[in-house]
Amino acid sequence: MSLIDFAKTPVTEIFGTNCFSNAVMKERLPKNIYKEILAVQAGEKELTLAIAEVVAAVMRDWAIEKGASHYTHLFQPLTGLTAEKHDAFIAPTGDGKVLMEFSGKELIKGEPDASSFPSGGLRATFEARGYTAWDVTSPAFLKQDPTGTTLCIPTAFISYYGQALDKKVPLLKSIDALSREAIRVLRTLGNETSRRVFTTVGPEQEYFLVDKELYDKRPDLMLTGRTIFGVLPAKGQEMEDHYFGAIKERVAAFMRELNTELWKVGIPAKTQHNEVAPNQFELAPIYLNSSAAVDSNQLVMETLRNVARRHGMECLLHEKPFAGVNGSGKHNNWSMATDDGINLFDPGENPESNARFLLFAAAVVEAVDRYALLIRGSVATSGNDHRLGANEAPPAIVSIFFGGPLTEIFDNIAEGKTSGKSEAGGTIKIGVSSLPSLPKDVSDRNRTSPFAFTGNKFEFRMVGSSQSIATPNTFLNVAVAQVLSEFADKLEKTSNKNEAVQAIIKESYAKHKRVVFNGNGYTDEWVREAERRGLPNVKNAVDSLSILTRSETVSLFENHKVLTKEELESRYHIYLEKYSKQINIEAGVAIELARRTVFPAAIAYASKLATDASALAAIGAVSTAPEKRAKRIAEICSELYDDTSKLETVLSEAQETGDVLAQAKAYFEKVQPAMKTVRTKVDALEKIVAKEAWPFPGYEELLFKL
Ligand code: ADP
Ligand code: MG
């Protein structure tokens, strides 16, 4: 491995070299065209073919200068992965030679066909064509592998009839909706200058690294992303010596290369550290607008995997690769900012900005309370079911953490107190024009809350580590857009804005403060308290997905033109199917491994013990120990045999269930418990079969070797 010498090639020079950023466009495009692009990015204009032609030519030259031979429209189908189809730039000249071409039409619209992606009934195959259109809010970039370079164009993916077949189209629409309503509110507050509101997102990505050689010996990890079997070694994470510990050299080398790769494509990877579980790590980038953040997080996940392999490791992004130690999440830091640089969740320094902050924060409280099920549903995956509520991640109850001082301010407003002593110091006068300036960091630390206010942003902590952040952000944006539109309706009707703002905050907070909880979210008391408060606690993905097709959800999404009833139904369908498929694979792997790997290995070991016992007896060294152990193993093996058959039976019943919902339920209610029983037996065997005789590497190696 060679030294990455940042003295020779400074980070400032590496950063963005492979990104067709605004800086590159500004430098290379004619001034008027660049201005047009800015207007398109701001949502003020549509991209015309004439402009696309100019941009395409410049983009092509830039990419070819850097060694690209192909281009691809990157899109996010509903599988949650990123999809790409590559085309070479070549165009024949008619005399047996080629030119490198790339037209405006090819830039703004591609036709990947892609009829094999799940559409949940939105396309019949005879009209299976899907179209991709360049998303100007997320920059194009170059992907490099050891032998070549490809120009990647982030795109939205729609059907022939304009229905969203991906996760990007609804996200962009949700940003529009939120912007529209937020601007309405801002206007009533006297803001005449901001033209657009953006959501900003910084996703903190957690992941595990395992040695590649060990990984290759674990079919469960290879096929399902998690260990289906395995027992915790004598040492787990209880010493808490991994969290923020010194980073091992091998991992540091990986991280250095990872950062360099990410910086090249313009992803501002910023923070990296060891996480709580052994061999668990985190990467946090500086936040971007949410469209670019979604794309770059997809690229971060892909780069993590690729770079890990170059270092003889495998990166695990599953929410719960190992039982008994922490799983991985993706804290979705979310905020709202105007195009002229105002963070709407910044408490600010004067009465006006405080009033604005309190109003927008109140809107989030109301949205999170009213749409808790939707927010919960946005993170409903089979992987996340292992993590939520398992005392390492927030429970499945959606609540907001505000911290003492801010909660007190809101409580006072809700109770109609005109003044009061705040914990933050100073006396509060509640009249909007005389609100106190809030201290900069009003939030103390609370790691157990699913939705925490952290200074000038909200940190949504329920998102799973492997999932695309598109849907959680889309749902969040729509929920907040709805509340803001109701606030705007009220504000637009009155002339006394100060009084109205105060009344709205008061009424809204009084009604929705039940969702604010500053205590320890991991405790059983909270579960009981939340129930008393009437907060939903939907513990599994199948039940929580049902919110997608409820009539109130449909009207919410149709109201804001983000998703239609049909599109919501298709998503419900696809997510349930994905849930079933995942567990189907896991159960298949469990059966296969239990029968064909664990069982033979355990029986072979038991008969070796029996042979040992007779050999010992032959020399007069009588010991019943090997015999006893052999018997115990044989007993467990016979239970394992039966339990595996039972799993097989419920699995084939689930496979034959026709209706998607009934099928997902069968996987959840029957297959999963049967899998757990099989695991108990396999894990019991692992504890008594000799290490050398065990057919695959255990947790000890997987979690501690690097
Ligand atoms: P913490 O240590 O509280 O988690 P950091 O400041 O380290 O906070 O930020 C964590 C993540 O939050 C980073 O990815 C960062 O980019 C993101 N973040 C910070 N400010 C914002 C914001 N205004 N909007 C969205 N994300 C943000
Ligand atoms: Mg954080």
Task: From 699, 594, 670, 694, select the one nearest 637 (Cα to Cα).
Answer: 594
347 — phi, psi (to 5°)? Answer: -55, -30
Note the helical H segments in 22-90: 22-28, 31-41, 49-65
Q: How confident is the model at residue 438 (pLDDT cuts 50, 70, 90)?
A: low
- pLDDT class for 115, splitting at 50, 70, 90? low
Residue 126 confidence class, pLDDT cut points 50, 70, 90? very low
Most trustworthy range by pLDDT among 107-111, 440-444, 494-498:
494-498
Q: Are 200 and 460 in contact (CB under 8 A)?
A: no
Q: Lowest-confidence range among 388-392, 393-397, 413-417, 509-513?
A: 388-392
Note the ligand closest to the C-alpha atom of 334: 1
Among the ranges given (375-379, 399-403, 666-670), the one the predictor scored with the smallest mean pLDDT: 399-403
Residue 657 has pLDDT above 60, yes or no: yes
State how far the Cα of 310 lies from the Cα of 1, in Å rounded to an integer: 10
Report how far residue 275's alpha carbon sits from residue 208's, in angstroms, rounded to the nearest whole number.
Answer: 9
pLDDT digits (tens, 9 = 90+) for 464-515: 999 999 999 999 999 999 999 999 999 999 988 888 998 999 999 999 999 9
Higher pLDDT, 404 or 187: 187
Name, in order, each residue with C-beta under 8 angstroms of 10's C-beta and a sequence gap of 6 or more: none
Strand partners, 132: 110, 157
CB of 296 sitting under 6 A from ligand 1 = no
How many degrees, rounded to 5, is the angle at CA 582 between CA 232 and CA 385? 60
Domains and CATH numbers, the chain: 11-166 (3.10.20.70), 175-563 (3.30.590.10), 576-704 (1.20.120.1560)
Radius of gyration over alpha carbons of the chain, in Å? 28
Which position has the higher pLDDT, 447 or 504? 504
473 in contact with ligand 1, CB cutoff 6 A:
no
- Is the C-beta atom of 338 inside 6 A of ligand 1? no
Please, are residues 422 and 410 in contact by the beta-carbon 8 Å criterion? no
Residues 26 and 65: their CA atoms lie apart, in Å, by 17
List, in sequence order, every residue forming a beta bridge with 284; answer none if it has no partner: 271
Q: Identify the pLDDT of residue 133.
A: 77
* 609 C-alpha to ligand 2 centroid (Å): 52
CB of 615 closer than 6 angstroms to any ligand 1 atom: no
Ligand 1 proximity of 405 Cβ (cutoff 6 Å): no
pLDDT-based confidence at residue 62 (cuts at 50, 70, 90): very high
Q: Mapping DSSP to helix (H, G, I), strand (E, B) and coil, where does residue 502 land?
A: helix
Q: Which of 288, 296, 333, 461 to mutate to test the pocket of ligand 1 (most atoms within 8 A of CB)?
A: 333
If we measure between CA atoms, which residue out of 506, 530, 507, 490 comes closest to residue 394?
530
Which helix H or strand E contains 541, and what residues bound it? Answer: helix 541-545
How confident is the model over 136-142, as a mean pLDDT? 93
Judge if the beta carbon of residue 220 lies within 6 A of ligand 1.
no
How high is the mean pLDDT of the chain?
90
pLDDT of residue 37: 94
Q: Residue 1: pLDDT above 60?
A: no
DSSP string, 100-117: E---HHHHHEE----TTS
